[in-house]
Chains A and B, each alone.
Chain A
Amino acid sequence: MQLTPRAKPVDRSPMTFLESLYLWNIIKGMGITIKHMFLKKATIQYPEEKRPFSPVFRGLHVLNRDAEGRENCTACGLCAVACPAEAITMEAAERLPGEEKLYREEKYAAKYEINMLRCIFCGFCEEACPKDAVYLSQTFAPANYARNGFIYGKHELLIPHPIEQPEAYQKALGDRQPSSQNVNQPIA
């Protein structure tokens, strides 16, 4: 029964002697194989070589500092409330006199934790942040054998100090612009 006009009946006639040697088919197949030896490779040598990420790639979080090295985060909790995976927790503390160089506002995050096992890297935290304090960088969380290595605290998340460690800061910053001095987002 002809199902479609393109259907082709299978040729079930017995092979000739030349065909049963498979010589032509082997040469055809090897041709494809050898052709690929000269084509551009689809794989890369991963740890030594890395692929460029797209500019909108959402990777590991970074807690930002401003140009003077003060932490931007005020522990307002908007990232945590925006987080659909409930991966972010924090504890706020009050800035003491003499700590003005460490924290930009009178309240700061004494603890800031992201559970990378829960995080789905949606970037809502970055969108919610009124202080340009958290953003998603273009790296991903490195593999780990233990689960407890995925609970990232401030120690892991905080960007290096721009004045004390300028090179590490530039590397962490990547293509981003440094956080401006007066990020006074209008939030009534």
Chain B
Amino acid sequence: MADEIKKAPAPLKVTIDNITVEVPAGTTILKAARQIGGEVTPPAMCYYSKLEGSGGKCRTCLVEVAAGSTADPRPMPKLVASCRTNVMDGMVVKNITSERVQEARAGVVEFLLLNHPLDCPVCDQAGECHLQDLGYQHGKEGTRYQFERRTFEKEDIGPKIQLHMNRCILCYRCTYVADQLTDCRVHGVLDRGDHANISTHISKAIDSNFSGNMIDVCPVGALTDKTFRFKNRVWFTKPVDAHRDCPECCGKVTLWQRGDEVLRVTARKDEWGEIQSYDGKPGWICNTCRFEKKAAADWVIEGPTVVNRHSVISQGHYQGMQMPKETIQDVMSGLNPRLLMDIHDISEVNKIELSQLPGAATSANYKNESTKSE
């Protein structure tokens, strides 16, 4: 009997949305679905494969188990959280093929949006927000909620990270980052129930060198980069892959540029919106790379980041475009055409080096500029 347990367990066969896949024992349904990939994969707001213990909080990854296993083929009576349920041999899972799941997930999205402020026009996460995507996917971008939303007092948790507690959906990912990546955890979830909120204990500033990664793991705009605050919308910046020799981290990042200015530095994301792994190790980046290196000269640029063409970030990024040959010089025997107006001389935008500002631009930055037009 004991010998049987020690033997390497045979791979389990699991069928997700009529696609059968073989996975090792101990794999969760979500991981098996990710192995298939595509639309079959349930969305996850709280589960993060690189953070131990995450998952089981948001309920967006609910799936229907139509048959428990070959040994016991009875269906599970309730929908289960796929990030916390391990597969069994012969399990039949329904995700997009089940109407029950779609309906339940739409309900979950509405609940997540219950107290979430609909301030996407202001929020820096808009365009790369998982909750925004999820809301639109399920047609729940509106709200039926007519009461005052739960709000928290604004809290300053340091000069680099902006906390908007009102936008938090309590996925706990950032606390796992604080727990598992930083030496001393100074931030966590305080209070209970409706009052639960992410906070630093006794308003301690987050000064660990890997604390910036909680910005990347945050699925909503609750934790955002203060050095990028209101600088630009993500879809107007152009993401490029870059690296540098960093003594502390892997140094592989995505730069979000505007012209040659580096407005923001983030870790590279994979297709699930999680931080990419290199040789099995998650590519967390340190705060020096994220917040201090805001010049293109600090980085070795590899090339444009591949952005899904359905993402708003790919809007207006004319990748692979071939510029037609300019023939005027040939025809005019080497003369340049007379430029009737250079937009950069007249335009009043792009006069301030936004990447050099430590935080959001304010009216003080524009004081000298504003008199010009009047």
Assembled-state Cα–Cα distance A106/B360 (Å)? 11
**Minimum distance in angstroms from B334 CB to a CB of chain A:** 25
Nearest CB on A from B253, distance (A): 23
Judge whether B346 is part of the interface by a CB distance below 8 angstroms.
yes
Assess whether B135 is interfacial by the CB under 8 Å rule.
yes
Q: B373's closest neighbor in chain A, by CB?
A: A155
Please name all residues of chain B whose beta carbon is closer than 8 Å to the beta carbon of A110 when the two chains form the complex.
Answer: 361, 363, 365-366
The reply to whether A90 and B235 contact each other, CB–CB distance below 8 Å, is: no
13 inter-chain pairs at a CB distance below 8 angstroms, sorted by A residue, are A81-B316, A89-B349, A92-B230, A107-B230, A107-B360, A110-B366, A115-B343, A147-B340, A148-B346, A154-B373, A186-B118, A186-B142, A187-B120
* Interface flags, B335-348, vs A, CB<8A=1, else 0: 00000110101111
Point out the residues of chain A lying under 8 angstroms from B373, CB to CB.
153-155
Query: What is the 8 Å Cβ interface bit string for chain A, positions 126-160, against chain B (1 contact, 0 not)?
Result: 00001100000000000000011001011100000
A168 interface residue per 8 A CB criterion: no
CB closest chain-B residue, reference A118? B343
Of residues 147 through 188 on chain A, the ones whose CB sits less than 8 Å from some CB of chain B are: 147-148, 151, 153-155, 184-188
Which of the listed residues A74, A111, A131, A188 has the most CB atoms from chain B within 10 Å of its own CB?
A: A188
Q: Which of B88-135 contact A (CB under 8 A)?
A: 113, 116, 118-122, 126, 131-132, 135
The closest CB in chain A to the CB of B233 belongs to A77
| The one of A76, A94, A131, A151 that contacts B346, using a Cβ cutoff of 8 Å | A151
A91 interface residue per 8 A CB criterion = yes
Q: Could you say which residues of chain A place their CB within 8 Å of the CB of B113?
A: 188
What residue of chain A has the Cβ atom nearest to residue B145's Cβ?
A186
Chain B interface secondary structure, helix, strand, loop or mixed?
Answer: loop
Residues B346 and A77 in contact, CB atoms below 8 Å apart = no
In the complex, are the beta carbons of B122 and A76 less than 8 A apart? yes
Chain A, residue nearest B126 (CB)? A76
A105 to B121, CA, bound (A): 10
User: Do A78 and B365 have beta carbons less than 8 Å apart?
Assistant: no
Pick the contact of A99: B232, B359, B363 (CB < 8 A): B363
Is A76 a contact of B361 with CB atoms below 8 Å? no
Smallest Cβ distance from B362 to chain A, in angstroms? 5
Binding site for B on A (CB under 8 A): 74-78, 80-81, 86, 89-96, 99, 105-107, 110-111, 113, 115, 130-131, 147-148, 151, 153-155, 184-188
Q: From residue A156, how far is it (CB to closest CB) to chain B in Å?
A: 8
Residue of B nearest to A153 (CB): B373
Number of A-B residue pairs with CB-CB distance less than 8 Å in the complex they form: 111
Q: Which residues of A contact B363 (CB under 8 A)?
A: 93, 96, 99, 110
- Given A76-B120, A76-B126, A77-B236, does the pair A113, B347 have CB atoms closer than 8 Å? yes
CB-nearest residue of chain A relative to B122?
A107
State the Cβ distance, B62 to closest chain A Cβ, in Å: 19
In whole angstroms, how far apart are the Cα atoms of A155 and B126 in the complex?
28
Q: Which residues of A contact B136 (CB under 8 A)?
A: 188
**Partner pick for B131 among A94, A153, A154, A188, CB 8 A cutoff:** A188
Task: Flag if A151 contacts B347 (CB, 8 Å).
Answer: yes
Give the distance to chain A from B314, nearest Cβ to Cβ, in Å. 11
Query: In whole angstroms, what is the CA distance A155 to B98 when docked?
Result: 55
Quick check: B348 and A186 within 8 Å, CB to CB? Answer: no
Q: How far is the CB of B65 from chain A (nearest CB, A)?
A: 29
**Chain B residues, CB < 8 A from A80:** 236
Q: Does B315 contact A (CB under 8 A)?
A: yes
Which residue of chain B has its CB nearest to the CB of A76?
A: B121
CB of B347 within 8 A of CB of A74, answer no
B235 and A77 contact, CB distance less than 8 A: yes
B51 contacts chain A at the CB level, 8 A cutoff: no
Residues of B within 8 A of A155 (CB): 373-374
B295-349 residues at the A interface, CB under 8 angstroms: 312, 315-316, 340-341, 343, 345-349
Q: Which 6 A-B pairs have the closest CB atoms?
A: A76-B121, A188-B135, A94-B360, A186-B142, A77-B233, A188-B141
- Distance in angstroms between the alpha carbons of A122 and B276 in the assembled complex: 41
A111 engages B362 (CB within 8 Å): no
The reply to whether B121 and A188 contact each other, CB–CB distance below 8 Å, is no
CB–CB B349/A93 < 8 A: no
B140 interface hit (Cβ, 8 Å) = yes
Chain B residue at smallest Cβ distance from A186: B142
Q: Do A81 and B142 touch (CB < 8 A)?
A: no
Which chain A positions have C-beta within 8 A of B231? 92
